[in-house]
Each structure stands twice: as structure tokens, then as C-alpha cells.
């Protein structure tokens, strides 16, 4: 396609010629005007000193400037003249001619100067004429005075009385009125500008308010949602405020999340707001691939372009084109997208860094280490995955000092860096129906656990208890503080025990009520100790020494070598330190034990669970074990149950054999203790004669004391008859023989 022909105005050509007459070379002027040198020579030929065609042929041009100036001759000889200087008398004469009303073009041609130069001298002598454009008869003495050095600033102050221009009556008043009107307009413009700036400052004071109320986002699923446009207001999720406040208050922030929670977009919006409102900063968006990083920058551009015009006017972009991988503001701030890689950040000196999906960047840790010395704000956000990101998140401990919404967890690393965990349950729109629908889209349980349950090392098959515990948490789990639950002292105490040396030793304390419902009350979880070292901790576990504790049958075999060539069982080692209540579990079958546990939670839509776990609400979603004695609940037991899963076979293995039902043998110490307890099939607590008599008496009104006493006595002796008698002496032996 041919390039369109450029057109130049007469004023543009005159300005270029004026540069040549001012002493600059033709190549310099041609480069500045972005034209060929021949064009400059052509303009000189057409519009000479008089502004009209001065040279009709190349020969005349060469005669005026020298041979070789026609455009293709000897370039060493250029039409450059020495810089002209003008005397004060010469300027005064030109100003006088202009003031008399002669055409400026005619004056310029006569004196061989540019028209703009004549206008400039005239306006210097008469600044007020530049405003109203009038020209009258001028006293030459006034011209000389005004052109004198140091008098230009006082020219506007001169009056018409003897020294200035002879003005018509009323012109001075008109000038004063116009001046007052202009000042009033300037005041109004300044007030409007200040009001506009105050309004914009209020709109961008809070980055989340700016995102949700004053700009729009691009929704790629707008057709499925039935929207009329892909541009929609930024959604208002309950967990956005928590992350936005943490962004403003914390220099470093880690966020682990379920998929499609819009947290990456939220972080892009927060950084875009910072780059737009803070001059001179540099923000980097880093992702695994450059295309993804550029996509984040493109989203930042969308947020900027879709905001209100008044904000864009206060915070304009840099003039000129914007590249696809960067956005630059007029005040010097910029946002740049870079790919993953440890050395990518070394080329910059950023104020802020966003690492998106850091779990899937092989060198995310190295990039983070390079950014820490220079960055004032770092946000690392990702869904679950093994590697550096998961290691950083899992060393954090739960922090209950900060209140967070439902589905959001808050922890801090040993060095104080915060870690937020945003589960899909934090979104009110993602209920049981959404979970059932989305679960079908995943090819395996391990995929679901990584993408939605935020389990970094997920890789097995079907999870056994996670879905039940999430769906029926209010039925299965008991908060001892908010519910006021307190077990009866008459209920039978039970327990489970699993010994470990390198692995943790786990112990559970439970009780069973009259209806056979088992309540898990407390736990002990500690690795790397001997039986003698476990003793003081187990003594602190309330009810453990009074319970019937079912343990791993293998600890009752004599496998521990002792002095003198003898062997002892691990259970005997515990008995030697005063723990004598360990009983071998009747079974140790893994699949059977898991089925027994699941049987207690069967069909919970129509019945109550027969196995309940006491655990404080703030400890139900820990990210790693909490070692020690826990008399107030069982957070570690819940942690293990949520992670229990079946082994997963690859696609190739499934071609050759059936899916396996084996359970992954990892993080199963308290789970095994619960398995031993459930496999023992404990019987419900039997009510004593006194309890049954009190229940019978409760049916009689309190006012009828006599009937209550009769009912109590009758019920008590009826229960006493049912209890077996223990014979003592010859009479006891005779009574026992007679009863048979």
C-alpha cells in the first residue's frame, strides 16, 4: 500500500527556512523536520526572505548560495550564513512599520526577515496588543523605551498619558473588565480543578473501593452468565477485604488458594492502583511463561482503561504507544511483565513484585530471594503444588489473633511473614451443589485435592473422609467452647494408642454414652520419644489412665532386646513406667478399620452420627501437625483424617488391573488409634440402678413427693434384681447354686 503524501503548511515551511537563516545547516534542519534536504532547498527557492517565490531556477539558487546546493551537488558547500544580528534602530524601524498597519509579509520581504520575527518584535514592544490584536499609531520614543534592555517587563504597566499608546475613551475600562473577567475565570477553573482532584482522591483512597466501584473488569465467562457485555464491575467477595487489608499492611504476603477465586486478578488490581497513584515506582508481574505475564499486564490495562474518565485525566499514561508487556504512566511509574527465572529480576529495581502461580515456577524461590533486597511489596500467590511455595506455606503456624472470614485461614512463618489460605468454601456461591458439579469435572481425587482442597502433596486417589468432614462438619465436630459440651462422668472411658519411635506416637481419649455414641475428647501427638519419655505427657492427658485403651497388637510381641539377652514387648515397657491399661485391639485390618469409621458416619442426611470429634473451631483446618497434649480437642486427628486417601493408579496401570482399594500409608498415627478403638466395638455405657430410678422418678410431678419416692424405690429394686449377685461364703455358694 503506497504511503500517503505528507503536506506542510506555509507557516511550517517559513519556520524551517527561518532556522536556516538563523545559522543552522540544511542537514540539521532536514533531520529535525524529518524531510529530505532537497525539500529544504525547494522551500528556500519558493519562499525566500520575502515569503514569496524568490528563485525560479536552480541556477539562481546556486548563484545566491554557491554551486552545489541544488540538492545533489557538492554537500560540503551548504547554504549557511553567519547568524544575523539586528540593531536596536533596525528593530524600532520594523516595529514602526507594523504599527502603521502595513502588511507584515510586505515588511518582512522588504527587510529580508521572517514574518514571525517581525511579529515577535512587535509583541515585545506592545504586549497588550497580543491580547486584543489592535494596532494604532505609535510614538517612536515609546518604541525605543520599550525595546530598551530591562524595560520589557514594565511595558504593560505604562499608561496612555504622554508615554503610551493613545487609546480611545473607554478602552481602558474595557481592558480592566476583561482582565477581571479572566481572573474570575481563572479562579473558577482553579476551584473546579481542586474539587476534581479532591473527588478523585476520594475515589482512589481505598484500592478495593476503586476496584469495585470505579472501574470494570473483563469477564471471559460473560456469555455463560447471561451478561450483555464482557466488561463487568469487579465482584464483591467477602474475602477480598481481608486480602486487600493485608496487601496494604504487610510488606510480604503469601496466599495459597483454591482455583478460580479471582485472587490473582485482585492482586493485579491492587498493584495497578499502587502504580497509578504513587509516582516513580516500578512493579513486576512474574509468571511461569511470558505470555501469562503479558496477560496480567493486559488485565491491568483493562482496569485502567475501563475506569472513570476523571481518574484517567488525573493519572494519565505516558504519551506515545504502550507495548504489550508494559504499561507506563506519565508520572514515571510503570508495570512490566516478565517470565519465570531466577535472573529475570536482576535487570530491574522494582518497588513491587507479584509472583503468580509460584508453585509452578521452578525458580520461584531464587526470584523471590533476588527481589527481597530491593522490593518494598512482594505478593506470592498460587494454588497448591509441591515445591518451594508449599515448603514456605507449611512452615507457618496458625495465628488466631486475627479474625478472618469463613473459609479463610491465617498463619505466620517463624520469621513473621503472613500466609493466607483461601478455600473455596469462603465463597458463599460455592455450596454442596457446586462441589458435586465441579468434582465430576476432575479426572481423579488427587486432581481435585490439588486444585480445590489446597493440598500441596496430593497425588493419591479417592479421599476417604475429607468430603464427609466438610459437608457434615456441624454434625460430626463439636466446639467445646461455643456448644458448652461436657461429657457425663458416668460415661465409660475408652482410648486408642499407636506407638512410634521415628514416627509420632498417637493416643486418643474417648467416652461412649448410653446410646453407643462415641465422643473423641482429647489427643496426644509426639514423635521421637521412648516409653519412659512419653510417660509424663500421657499422664497429663485427661482420662487416659482411667480408660480402656486399645493399642496396636504388634506392641504386645516381645521384640525389644534387653540386657542379658532377654526381650520385652513395647507394652511391657509402658507397664514398667506405670501405664498398665493398654489392651490389644481385636483386629488390625486397615480397610476394615476405615469401613468401621465410615459406618459411624453413614447416611447423615437422615440420622445423627455415632462418632463425634471434639475440636475447637479455630483448630479445625490446621496446615501441619501440632505436637503435644491436647485436652481441649483433636486438631491432629482431623488433619490426618482429611488427608487419608486411597492409592491412585496411572492410566497404564488401570489398563492391566482393577482400581486398588489400598490406603496410602502416611500420616496415619492417630487415625490408627481411632481404628483400634472402633474395631474393638465398644458396648454402650450401662445405666446404674440409681440413674434408672432417677429417670423413672422424673416422670412424676415434683409436687407429689410420696409418689416420687414410691416410684424411685420400685425402679431401684427392679434394677438391683437384674444385676448378678456375687456370692460370699457358704450361704453365697448355696444361693448361687439354687439360682442355677
Do both 295 and 320 map to the same domain? yes
Do both 523 and 656 map to the same domain? yes
In the numeric block, which cell numbers belong to residue 699? 416422670
Most trustworthy range by pLDDT among 129-133, 185-189, 520-524 = 520-524
Judge whether 42 lies within some domain.
Answer: no
Digit-coded pLDDT (tens) for 230-281: 888 889 999 999 999 999 999 999 999 999 899 999 999 999 999 999 999 9
Answer whether residue 81 shows pLDDT above 50: no
The closest alpha carbon to 407, from 429, 386, 424, 430, belongs to 424
Do both 386 and 405 map to the same domain? yes
Average the pLDDT over 613-629 and give the result.
90
Judge whether 69 lies within some domain.
Answer: no
Do both 539 and 491 map to the same domain? yes
Q: Tell which of 372, 400, 430 closes a domain.
A: 430
Q: DSSP letter at 347?
A: G
Average pLDDT, the chain: 82
Judge whether 656 lies within some domain.
Answer: yes
Radius of gyration of the chain (CA): 45
Judge whether 359 lies within some domain.
Answer: yes
In the numeric block, which cell numbers belong to residue 460? 493419591
Segments forming the whole domain that contains residue 152:
88-157
**CA 98-104-106 angle, 5° bins:** 115
Do both 666 and 707 map to the same domain? no
What pLDDT is stored for residue 225 in this prediction?
A: 64
Judge whether 437 lies within some domain.
Answer: no
Digit-coded pLDDT (tens) for 529-542: 999 999 999 999 99
Residues 6+ apart with CB under 8 A from 659: 461, 649
Span between the terminal Cα atoms of the chain, in Å: 118
Judge whether 639 lies within some domain.
Answer: yes
**Total of domains in the chain:** 4
Judge whether 278 lies within some domain.
Answer: yes
Do both 673 and 704 map to the same domain? no
Do both 412 and 510 map to the same domain? no
Do both 267 and 364 map to the same domain? yes
Q: Tell which of 157, 172, 188 closes a domain.
A: 157
Judge whether 182 lies within some domain.
Answer: no
Answer whether residue 61 shows pLDDT above 70: no
Rounded to whole angstroms, the Cα distance separating 119 from 122 reads 5
Rounded to whole angstroms, the Cα distance separating 520 from 611 reads 8
CATH code of the domain in which 616 resides? 3.30.420.280
Digit-coded pLDDT (tens) for 472-505: 899 999 999 998 899 998 899 999 999 988 889 9
Q: Which pTM does this prediction carry?
A: 0.50
Do both 293 and 373 map to the same domain? yes
Q: Tell which of 119, 142, 157 closes a domain.
A: 157
Do both 411 and 484 map to the same domain? no
For residues 94 and 102, is the Cβ–Cβ distance under 8 A?
no
Do both 293 and 146 map to the same domain? no
Do both 528 and 669 map to the same domain? yes
Amino acid at each position: 500500500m503506497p504511503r500517503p503524501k505528507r503536506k506542510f503548511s506555509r507557516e511550517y515551511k517559513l519556520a524551517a527556512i527561518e532556522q536556516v537563516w538563523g545559522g543552522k545547516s540544511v542537514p540539521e534542519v532536514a533531520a529535525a523536520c524529518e524531510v529530505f534536504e532537497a525539500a529544504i532547498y525547494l522551500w528556500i527557492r519558493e519562499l525566500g526572505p520575502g515569503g514569496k517565490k524568490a528563485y525560479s531556477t536552480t541556477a539562481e539558487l546556486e548563484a545566491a548560495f554557491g554551486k552545489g546546493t541544488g540538492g545533489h551537488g557538492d554537500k560540503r558547500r551548504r547554504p549557511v550564513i553567519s547568524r544575523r544580528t539586528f540593531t536596536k534602530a533596525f528593530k524600532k524601524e520594523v516595529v514602526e512599520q507594523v504599527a502603521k498597519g502595513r502588511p507584515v509579509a510586505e515588511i518582512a520581504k522588504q527587510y529580508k526577515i521572517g514574518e514571525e520575527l517581525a511579529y515577535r518584535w512587535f509583541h515585545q514592544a506592545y504586549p497588550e496588543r497580543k491580547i486584543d490584536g489592535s494596532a494604532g499609531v505609535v510614538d517612536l520614543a515609546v518604541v525605543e523605551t520599550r525595546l530598551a534592555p530591562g524595560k520589557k517587563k514594565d511595558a504593560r504597566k505604562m499608561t496612555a498619558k504622554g508615554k503610551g499608546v493613545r487609546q480611545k475613551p473607554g478602552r481602558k475600562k474595557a481592558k480592566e473588565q476583561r482582565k477581571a473577567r479572566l481572573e474570575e475565570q481563572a479562579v473558577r477553573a482553579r476551584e473546579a480543578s481542586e474539587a476534581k482532584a479532591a473527588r478523585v482522591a476520594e475515589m482512589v483512597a481505598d484500592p478495593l473501593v476503586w476496584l469495585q466501584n470505579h472501574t470494570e473488569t473483563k469477564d471471559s465467562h460473560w456469555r455463560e452468565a447471561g451478561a450483555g457485555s464482557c466488561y463487568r464491575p469487579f465482584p464483591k467477595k467477602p474475602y477480598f477485604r481481608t486480602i486487600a487489608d493485608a496487601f496494604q499492611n504487610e510488606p510480604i504476603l503469601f496466599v495459597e488458594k483454591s482455583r478460580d477465586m479471582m485472587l490473582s486478578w485482585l492482586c493485579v488490581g491492587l498493584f495497578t492502583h499502587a502504580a497509578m497513584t504513587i509516582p516513580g515506582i516500578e512493579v513486576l508481574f512474574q509468571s511461569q511463561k511470558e505470555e501469562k505475564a503479558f496477560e496480567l499486564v493486559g488485565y491491568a490495562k483493562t482496569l485502567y482503561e475501563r475506569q472513570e474518565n476523571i481518574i484517567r485525566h488525573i493519572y494519565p499514561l505516558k504519551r506515545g504507544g504502550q507495548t504489550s508487556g508494559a504499561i507506563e504512566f506519565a508520572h514515571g511509574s510503570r508495570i512490566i511483565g516478565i517470565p519465570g527465572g531466577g535472573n529475570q529480576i536482576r535487570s530491574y529495581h522494582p518497588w513491587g513484585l507479584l509472583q503468580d502461580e509460584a508453585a509452578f515456577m521452578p525458580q520461584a524461590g531464587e526470584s523471590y530471594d533476588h527481589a527481597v533486597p530491593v522490593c518494598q511489596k512482594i505478593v506470592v500467590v498460587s494454588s497448591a503444588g509441591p515445591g518451594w511455595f508449599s515448603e514456605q506455606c507449611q512452615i507457618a503456624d496458625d495465628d488466631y489473633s486475627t479474625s478472618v472470614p469463613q473459609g479463610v485461614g491465617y498463619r505466620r512463618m517463624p520469621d513473621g511473614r503472613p500466609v493466607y489460605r483461601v478455600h473455596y468454601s469462603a465463597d458463599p456461591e460455592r455450596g454442596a451443589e457446586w462441589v458435586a458439579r465441579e468434582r465430576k469435572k476432575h479426572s481423579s481425587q488427587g486432581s481435585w485435592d490439588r486444585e480445590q482442597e489446597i493440598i500441596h502433596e496430593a497425588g493419591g486417589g479417592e479421599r476417604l473422609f475429607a468430603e464427609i468432614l466438610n459437608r457434615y462438619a456441624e454434625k460430626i465436630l463439636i466446639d467445646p467452647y461455643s456448644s458448652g459440651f461436657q461429657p457425663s462422668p458416668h460415661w465409660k472411658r475408652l482410648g486408642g494408642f499407636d506407638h512410634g519411635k521415628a514416627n509420632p506416637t498417637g493416643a486418643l481419649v474417648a467416652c461412649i454414652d448410653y446410646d453407643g455414641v462415641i465422643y473423641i475428647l482429647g489427643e496426644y501427638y509426639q514423635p521421637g520419644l521412648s516409653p519412659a519419655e512419653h510417660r509424663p505427657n500421657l499422664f497429663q492427658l485427661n482420662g487416659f489412665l482411667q480408660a480402656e485403651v486399645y493399642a496396636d497388637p504388634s506392641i504386645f510381641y516381645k521384640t525389644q532386646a534387653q540386657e542379658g539377652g532377654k526381650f520385652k514387648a513395647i507394652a511391657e515397657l509402658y507397664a514398667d513406667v506405670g501405664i498398665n491399661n493398654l489392651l490389644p485391639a481385636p483386629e488390625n485390618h486397615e480397610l476394615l478399620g476405615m469401613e468401621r469409621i465410615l459406618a459411624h458416619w453413614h447416611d447423615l442426611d437422615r440420622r445423627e452420627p455415632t462418632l463425634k470429634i471434639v475440636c475447637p473451631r479455630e483448630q479445625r483446618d490446621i496446615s501441619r501437625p501440632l505436637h503435644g497434649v491436647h485436652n481441649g480437642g483433636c486438631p491432629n486427628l482431623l488433619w490426618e483424617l482429611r488427608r487419608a486417601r486411597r492409592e491412585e493408579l496411572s492410566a497404564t496401570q488401570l489398563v492391566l488391573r482393577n482400581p486398588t482399594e489400598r490406603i496410602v500409608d502416611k500420616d496415619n498415627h492417630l487415625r490408627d488409634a481411632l481404628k483400634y478403638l472402633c474395631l474393638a466395638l465398644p458396648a454402650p455405657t450401662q445405666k446404674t440402678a440409681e440413674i434408672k430410678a432417677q429417670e423413672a422418678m422424673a416422670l412424676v410431678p415434683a409436687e407429689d413427693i410420696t409418689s416420687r419416692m414410691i416410684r424411685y424405690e420400685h425402679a431401684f429394686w427392679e434394677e438391683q434384681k437384674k444385676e448378678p449377685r456375687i456370692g460370699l461364703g457358704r450361704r453365697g455358694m448355696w444361693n448361687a447354686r439354687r439360682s442355677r
